[in-house]
Amino acid sequence: MLNSIIALALRQRVAVLIIAALIAVLGLLALRSTPIDALPDLSDPQIIIRASYDGQTPQQIENQVTLPLSRQLLAIPQTKAIRSYSMLGDAFIHVVFNDGVDYVQARNRINEALNQAAKKLPVGVTTSLGPDASGVSWIYQYALQATKGEYDLSELRAIQDWQLRFELQSIAGVAEVASLGGMVKQYQAVIDPTKQQQLGISLKSIENAIQAGNQEASGSVIELAEAEYAIHSSGYIQSLDDLANLPVALPEKSTTPVLLKEIAQLNYAPEARQGLADLNGEGEVVGGIVIMQAGQNPLEVVSAVKAKLEQIQATLPAGIKIVSTYDRSKLINSSISELANKLWQESLIIALVCLAFLWHFRSALVAIISLPLGILCAFIIMHWQGINANIMSLGGIAIAIGAMVDAAIVMIENLHQHLQRFQREQQRQPSTHEHWQLVYKASIEVGPTVFYCLLIITLSFLPVLLLEAQEGRLFAPLAYTKTYAMAAASGFALTLVPVLMGYLIKGKLTAEEHNPITHRLALAYQPLLNWSLKYPIYLALVALVLLASSLYPLLKTSDELMPSLDEGDLLYMPTTQAGLSVGKARELLIQTDRLIKSLPEVESVFGKAGRAETATDPAPLSMFETSIQLKPKSEWRAGLSLEDLINELDQKVQLPGLTNAWVQPIRTRIDMLATGVRTPLGLKITGPDLAKLDQLGKQTMELLQQLPNTRSVFADQIMSGRFIEITPDRLAAAQFGLSVEDIQRTIRLAMGGEKLAEAIVERERYPISVRYPLYLRDNLERLRELPVLTETGQSVPLQTLAKLEVVAAPAMIKSENAQLTNLVMLNLNNTDYSAYIKQAQLLLAEQLQLPSGYQLNWVGQYQVMERVTNKLKIMLPLIFAIVFLLLWKIFRDLKLSLLVLGSLPFALIGGLWYLWWVDFNFSVATTLGFIALIGVATEFSVIMLLYLEQAWQASSEKNLNTLKSAVLQGALSRLRPKLMTVTVLIAGLLMIMLGTGSGIDLMQRIAAPMLGGMLTAPLLSLFLIPTAYFHLKRRELLGLPWFRANWAISPFGDSNRRPLHAERIE
C-alpha cells in the first residue's frame, strides 16, 4: 500500500504541490493566531472562595466560617482537595478539582453549595468567588510612585482604586486588577469621651445618627405642565463638613441639636490594612496586579495593558509615575524568540549539510521546503487543539527537526545513487519518463522503511501523554507537537518528498567518491568495519565494556523532578515571624529591598508584604513576596551565573528573624496553588489539635536542620498570634444597665473603628467610621480604663465590665479537606529529593514521637516525583512494546527485530555519560530525551539493515565471500546518509545546548541525552549492526538452524508489490 501511495503522489504531483501550498497558507494563518505564552498552564483547575467576617479572630473564622464551608464543599463531585486559610477577618478556601472538570459547571455547583451553607453561617459573613483565573494569571505588576513628593499614599491609592483599576479591568482578557499597598482613605470621627459623657450621648446614638444621616430616597414622579418630573432626595455624606454637621442628639428641653463636630474631631484617616508595597527600598508606594482570565493570550493582554497604561500616564497629575515592576511578556518574548532562533538555525544547518555532502543546491531545497511545511502542519493541529505556542510546544518541534529531515536526506541520497548509476551506465542524462521512473524506484526502495522509522519515532513518544496532573500539563504540549511534526514528516516522506525530488534533483550530480568529505571518511571507515567483521568477539567485548562503564554515571547522577526554569526574574519569599505589625513589616521590607537593589544585576525591586485586594492572594502580613526584575545577562558581571547571583543575594540579605528563599515567580505560584507549599519540598503534619501541631512543627524543624543538605527549614508557627482577649462579665454589666452588645459595640467602634457607612463622592466610595483617640487605646492599661457609656451618660471603665488578658492564639489556621494542618517548608542545597526524604524519614521515625491521630505527608515536588515514577513503570515497557511491534511490521522476522531492540541499550551509553559530564540530574525532562533517543537509534539501525539487505539480495551468488562484500557495500553506501543525518542532529542539538535564553535550560535537559547518544548510536549502526547482520547470515549460510532467518514476507515494503513496470509514472 505504501508503494501505491508513492506512485499516486508521483502521478498526481501537481495536486500534491497545490495541497502543500494550501497547507503552507493554513499553517501561516494558524501560526499568526496561535496564543503565545512562556509556559503551559500547569496549575490545577481550582476556584477560590473568599469569606469575610470583619474583626473576627482566625479561631472564630475557622470554627464558624471555614469548617462549615469546607464540609459543605467536600460533597462537590470531582473535587481533589479543599485547602483553606483562616486569618483575621477573612477565610480563603481553594477548591481544587480533577483534570478535565467542566469549569462553568464547577462554579455553578460551588455557588449552590455556598447558598446551602449560608444558613449555617453567622450574620455578617459575606462570601464571593475569586476571578476566573489560574495559577499563572498574575501577568503584570506596576507601582504608582510620587516622584516629587506632592502626593501622599492615600491620594495614590485613590487614583489606583478609582481610575487605573477600572480602566485596566475593561481590557479584554483581564479578570481582575488588584490594588496593593498605600492607604485607603476613610472619613473618621475621633470621639472625645469627656464631651460625650458630659452630653450623655452613647456610641449607639452616634452609630444610628451616622447611618440615618447618610441616605437617599425617591418620591416617584409627578406631572407638571404636561411633563413628568422624578422626585429625588439626596442625603449622602460627601465631605467632612457634611459629617461634622450631622446631628447626633437633641438634649431635653432644648431645640438646638448636638452636632457631631461638638463631640468629635473630623478628619481623613487610613483604613486598617493587611498589605503594603515598596519600590527599590525607597519607601512605600501603591501597586497594582493585573490578573488575566484563564485561557487568554497573555502576550496580547500584557500588550493591551501596557498600551492603556501609557494612555493613562498622560492623564495623571504631574509628579505621578507608573513604574512596571513585573512583566510576563519579557519572559515570553525572550523564551519564544530563543527557540524560534533555534528553529531557523537548525533549518540553515540542514541546508548547509545537504550542500556539503551532496554538492547540489536543489537537493538541499527538498529538505528546506519539506521541513517548514511539516512545522506548519504541527501548528495547524496545535491551533485546532487549542495548544499555545510556548517553551514546551516549540521545544517539541525543535527536538524533532533533526529526525523530521531524516526521511528526506535518505531519499535524496538514494536518488543521487540511482541517477549517478544511470548516468555512469548509460553515459547520458535520463529522459523525462526515465527520470520519474528512477524517482519512483529510488523512493520505493527506502520510502516505506523510512516511513516506518519515522512512525517508530512518532509513536514511541505517545506514552508521554500518560503523565498526569502538573507534569502531564507541562510535557503534553511537547509530546503533541513532536508527534504532529513527526507524523507530518512521515506523510511527506511518501508524498511531497518524492515529488520535490522529481522536480529539483536533475542534471549533472557530483559522484560520492569525488566528494572529499565522504571519500576520506569512507577510507577511514572501511578498514575499521573489516576489523569488526574479522574480530567480532573483540568488538563485542568493547561494546560490553562501554555498556558496563555506563553504570558509573547511572549511579553517580542524582534525581530531580524538574530542573528550575530560569524565568529571567526572581521572587524573594523569606519566612518571617508570625504576627508582625505593619510598622515592623514595613521596616523589614524596605531594608531587604534596599539590599537587593544594591546589586548591579538588579533592575528593580518591588516588595510586597501581606495581601493584595484579591481572592488569589491569601497572604498574611508576615509573608513577603518581592519581585526582582533582573537586567539582561549581557549586562551582568563576567562569569556570573544565576546560581552565583542567588548565593550573593543570600549572603547580602541576612537579617535577624528572616529565613531566605529565592525562587522563580511563575513556578512558585503554581506550586503554592497546587500543594499549598511555597518551597519545592514540604512536610505536612495533620491532626486535631492546633497546639500539638505547633509543637510537632517545631520539633520537626529542629530535627531536619541536622541534615547536611537542608539549606533552610521553617515550620508554621501556628500559636504565634498575640491577642488581647476581652471577656464580658454579664452580671457586672447588668448592674449598670449594659448588655454584652453594648460592651462589644464599644470594642467594635471605639477600639476597632468599624465601618458604619460609606461616603459617596461622585464616582468614588470611602468608608465612614468613629473611634476613640489613639492615646486611650494604644496599650493594655489604657484599654482597661477605656470608658463605656451607659444610656444615662455614666462612664464605666472597661475592666469593671470585662476581663482583659493577653493570650497566644493562632495567627493563621490552615486546613485541608477539613483537617487541621501544619506545614514545614524546606529549601535544599541540591535537588535530589528522593535521597533527602529517605534520610529525613529515618531521622523522624527514630526521634519524633507522633501521637495517635497525627500523620506526616511529604508534599511538593516529592508527590509529583512519586507519581511520575509510577507512570514510568508503565510508560517504558509500553514504549519498547510499540517499538517491537513496529519492528515486526518492518521485518516480519523475530531475530532482526530482537537484534535492533537488543542493541538499543548501547545507544544510551553516550547519553548517560554526557548527562553526568554536564552535571544534569535525572528528571522527567531527561527521561523524555532518552525516549527520543530510542526512536532515533532505532531508525539508524533499521536504515542500516535496509541497505545491508538490499546489497545482499542484489548479490548473484550466495556465499561467505559475497556476503562480506555485500555487507561492506551496504554499510559503505549507508555512510553518506548516516553522516548527513547525524551531522544534522548533532548540530541542531548543539544549538540548544549552547543557548542561553530564558526557558532554554529546560530544553537542554531533553537535548542532553540525545546529544550524548548521537556519539554512540551512530557507532552502533555503523559497526555493531553490520557485524551482527554478517554473522546472522553467515550462520544461515552454514545451515545452523537456531540462527536461520525466514524471509517469508519481504522485510522492506509489501510482499505482494507489483513489478516496477506495473506502475506507470509519467
Cβ atoms of 439 and 501 closer than 8 Å: yes
Nearest residue to 967 via CA among 1028, 1019, 1051 = 1028
Do 185-222+230-270+738-792 and 134-183+273-356+570-663 fall under one CATH topology? no
C-alpha 745/C-alpha 728 separation (Å) is 12
691-718: average pLDDT: 84
- Residues with Cβ within 8 Å of 290's Cβ and at least 6 positions away in sequence, in order, are 138, 139, 140, 141, 142, 168, 174, 177, 301, 302, 305
Cβ atoms of 860 and 836 closer than 8 Å: no
Residue 1066 has pLDDT above 50, yes or no: no
- Residues with Cβ within 8 Å of 833's Cβ and at least 6 positions away in sequence, in order, are 559, 560, 561, 680, 681, 861, 862, 865
- Residues with Cβ within 8 Å of 670's Cβ and at least 6 positions away in sequence, in order, are 42, 43, 135, 136, 470
At residue 543, φ and ψ (nearest 5 deg) are -65, -40
Cβ atoms of 92 and 611 closer than 8 Å: no
DSSP H stretches of helix in 559-689: 582-597, 642-652, 665-675
Alpha carbon 581 to its chain centroid, in Å, reads 33
pLDDT tens column, 1002-1027: 778 888 888 888 888 777 777 888 88
pLDDT tens column, 584-603: 888 899 999 999 999 998 88
* Cell numbers standing for residue 601: 544585576
Q: Please tell me which of 412-426, 653-667, 769-783 the model is most confident about, judged by mean pLDDT.
A: 769-783
pLDDT at 861: 67
75-93: average pLDDT: 86
Query: Which superfamily does CATH assign the domain made up of 1-33+359-510 to?
Result: Multidrug efflux transporter AcrB transmembrane domain (1.20.1640.10)
pLDDT at 678: 65
pLDDT tens column, 334-362: 777 776 777 777 777 777 877 777 777 77
Just give the CATH number of 44-132: 3.30.70.1430
772 C-beta neighbours (distance < 10 Å), count: 22
Strand residues in 490-642 grouped as ranges (E): 569-572, 602-610, 626-630
- Residues with Cβ within 8 Å of 313's Cβ and at least 6 positions away in sequence, in order, are 321, 322
User: Per-residue b/e over 124-158, b at no fewer than 16 CB within 10 Å?
Assistant: ebebeebbbbbbbbbbbbbbbbbeeeebbbbbbbb
Residue 1030 has pLDDT above 50, yes or no: yes
Query: For the chain, what is the mean pLDDT?
Result: 81
Query: Which superfamily does CATH assign the domain made up of 134-183+273-356+570-663 to?
Result: Multidrug efflux transporter AcrB pore domain like (3.30.70.1320)
420 C-beta neighbours (distance < 10 Å), count: 16
pLDDT tens column, 788-808: 888 777 888 888 988 888 888
pLDDT range class, residue 1057, cuts 50, 70, 90: very low
Cβ atoms of 996 and 911 closer than 8 Å: no
Q: Is the dihedral of CA 485, 490, 494, 498 positive or negative?
A: positive
Boundaries of every domain in the chain: 1-33+359-510, 44-132, 134-183+273-356+570-663, 185-222+230-270+738-792, 516-550+908-1052
Determine whether 18 is exposed, middle or buried from the number of CB atoms within 10 Å of its CB (0-12, 13-18, 19+).
exposed
Using alpha carbons, list the distances in angstroms from residue 907 to 213, 396, 526, 1013, 1016: 84, 21, 21, 6, 5
Nearest residue to 89 via CA among 360, 291, 303, 272 = 272
pLDDT tens column, 976-1011: 777 777 888 888 788 778 776 666 777 788 888 888
Class of domain 516-550+908-1052: mainly alpha
Nearest residue to 135 via CA among 664, 516, 644, 634 = 664
pLDDT at 305: 92
Which amino acid appears at position 187 of this protein? Answer: Y
pLDDT at 142: 92
pLDDT tens column, 408-456: 777 887 787 778 777 777 777 878 888 888 888 878 877 777 777 777 7
What is residue 41's three-state secondary structure? Answer: coil
pLDDT at 515: 67
At residue 327, φ and ψ (nearest 5 deg) are -135, 105
Cβ atoms of 481 and 434 closer than 8 Å: no
Cβ atoms of 621 and 277 closer than 8 Å: no
C-alpha 755/C-alpha 161 separation (Å) is 18
Residue 1056 has pLDDT above 70, yes or no: no
pLDDT tens column, 728-744: 999 988 888 888 888 88
pLDDT at 1040: 67
847 C-beta neighbours (distance < 10 Å), count: 12
Using alpha carbons, list the distances in angstroms from residue 766 to 155, 490, 759, 769: 12, 66, 5, 10
What is residue 130's three-state secondary structure? Answer: coil
Q: Does domain 185-222+230-270+738-792 have CATH number 3.30.2090.10?
A: yes
C-alpha 1005/C-alpha 468 separation (Å) is 20
Q: Please tell me which of 316-320, 830-834, 962-966, 1036-1040 the model is most confident about, judged by mean pLDDT.
A: 316-320
pLDDT at 831: 63
613 C-beta neighbours (distance < 10 Å), count: 19
Nearest residue to 642 via CA among 332, 342, 998, 328 = 998
Q: For residue 748, what is the DSSP state?
A: I
Beta-strand pair 185-191/764-771:
parallel
912-936: average pLDDT: 83
* Cell numbers standing for residue 884: 517491537
pLDDT tens column, 649-658: 888 888 887 8
At residue 729, φ and ψ (nearest 5 deg) are -100, 105
- Residues with Cβ within 8 Å of 15's Cβ and at least 6 positions away in sequence, in order, are none
